[in-house]
Amino acid sequence: MRKKILMLFGIALISAFALNVRADEYSLPEIGTAGMGGLTVQREKQLGEFYLRQARASLPIIEDPVMNEYLNSIGGKLLMSASGVRFPFTFLTVKNPSLNASAFLGGVVQVNTGLYHYADTEDEFASVLAHEISHVTQRHIARFIEDQINVTNLSAAGIIGSIVMSIINPAIGMAALSTTMGATSQNRINFTRDNEYEADRIGINLLYRSGFNPYGMADMFRLLLSRQGNINPAFAMLIDHPLSQNRVSEAQSRADQLGRRKNSNNVNYEFARARADVRYMGVDDFNSLKQSLMTNPFKRSQAYVNYALALCCYELKQYQEAYAYLDALKGLQNNIFVLDLRTDIDLKNGREQNAVARLEPFYRKSPDNEALALNLANALKSAGKPEQAVKILNNFLRRHPQDPSALSLLSQSALDAKDRCQALQARGRYQALLAAYPQALNSFAQAMNYCTNSYDRDIVRALTTQVSEQRAFDDSINKDMR
């Protein structure tokens, strides 16, 4: 039953690629633009935000500003060439070693850290994102919900809630879906299969239009096919969706028609991959990993090896050696991955002013960069200048009001600055992002005791109203899925 349910949504497990190649199919019609009856684009965006709150509360989302910047850069590059983008997308990384990715209503796309580990090239990595983005732009999940309403007469909220739960808590979610929709499984599978073919066709064209090598998708298929008989949790999608040689051939054929490009040589993918491997793949013996990297049995690039060794040394508190490996990255000292790790090391060694001086020129040029803004704010806070940190974070949050890391750091920095009014507001906003509504409302109630001017008090009242309405929205969906 679990196999059937996971196929059902087009929530884009990577193994669901199945390319249907035709020589004349470079420009495809937008199918399903209207979505489903009653589900407007605005409503879909609200449901995407609902999913985000549930995911942040229940999944091991990685709030790493450098990884976020990288993932957003690849997602943004693809979106610039995509058709049918109707709302801002949100890209998330989940700490999970299996090779997987998924998409949801409202432009939410998440990847597992395992994708970084197993995708050999940035083009393979981007091919997965292109597929997921195509599911969203074609509104496949909205069309699935419409189909199920017509077949089962169930409420949209009940179906949506069950889908969300099936991603976040499979054991409970599968039971909910089996109860509500068990009678129409074959219809669901056929519906989703069509969606997958459409997302594959559009995805590989999107990959090509965005400047990536379209063979990245074929290479990803070959990787999966090579693991075909290996029932390994790291390749869980192969258990649910066995890969055929035909799918590899179709991906290869379409790539042949589009034309080969050189694989991307973006060093940031090497750094992101190293960071995922060292920090987010469950390493419990950094000494052993360090020794393996020094002999380089993984056959990784030198940039990957030096950065991974620097990360290992940082974890082992071998800070001078970590600096040496970063110094070996010639010509890359201004790279954001390198700047971030240098900042971490400086703060461990009490060199906060060094970190601030290094980061400030880059921040002035790119104040909207999450990694730069949060690194500088954290360095200023550590240097005993929380008021300056608060200023930087407020500037960043004006453009990114739902950034959890920025809100958390703002709460801490404002508290250090003895501004409990602002600290409690930021804490409440952060808690609301995790759907921790009693705590959020309590934070706002406490804030009213410290906010003395009418402007701040009006802001707290507005936040209280907004979060109360958000809570009612979430409760309505959760109630209908029970």
Question: With 0-12 CB in 10 A as exposed, 13-18 as middle and 19+ as buried, what is 372?
Answer: buried
Q: What's the DSSP call for residue 61?
A: B
Q: Of the listed 49, 146, 200, 219, which one is catalytic?
A: 200
Q: What angle do CA 53, 59, 64 make, to 5 degrees?
A: 90
Q: Of the listed 49, 64, 69, 132, which one is catalytic?
A: 132
Write the CB contacts of 242 (distance below 8 Å, at least 6 apart in sequence).
228
Pair 467, 441: CB distance under 8 Å: yes
Backbone angles phi, psi at 90, to 5 degrees: -125, 125
Pair 347, 355: CB distance under 8 Å: yes
Instruction: Name the token pair of 288.
Output: 């052993």
102 DSSP β-pair partners = 110
Beta strands, E only, 271-416: none
Report the alpha-carbon distance of residue 221 to residue 245 in Å, rounded.
9
Scan for tokens 């949506």, then name that residue: 160
Write the CB contacts of 269 (distance below 8 Å, at least 6 apart in sequence).
70, 121, 122, 125
**Active site includes 200?**
yes
Phi-psi group of 169: left, alpha or beta (phi > 0 → left; psi -120 to 50 → alpha; rest → beta): beta
Phi-psi group of 320: left, alpha or beta (phi > 0 → left; psi -120 to 50 → alpha; rest → beta): alpha
Pair 271, 337: CB distance under 8 Å: yes
Instruction: Using CA atoms of 354, 359, 360, 361 in order, give the dihedral in degrees to the nearest 10.
Output: 120
111 DSSP β-pair partners = 93, 101
Q: What interhelical angle do 267-279 and 336-348 show, nearest 10?
A: 40
Instruction: Name the token pair of 338.
Output: 């390198």
SS3 262: coil
Report the alpha-carbon distance of residue 113 to residue 130 in Å, rounded.
17
Amino acid at residue number 334: N
Active site members: 132, 200
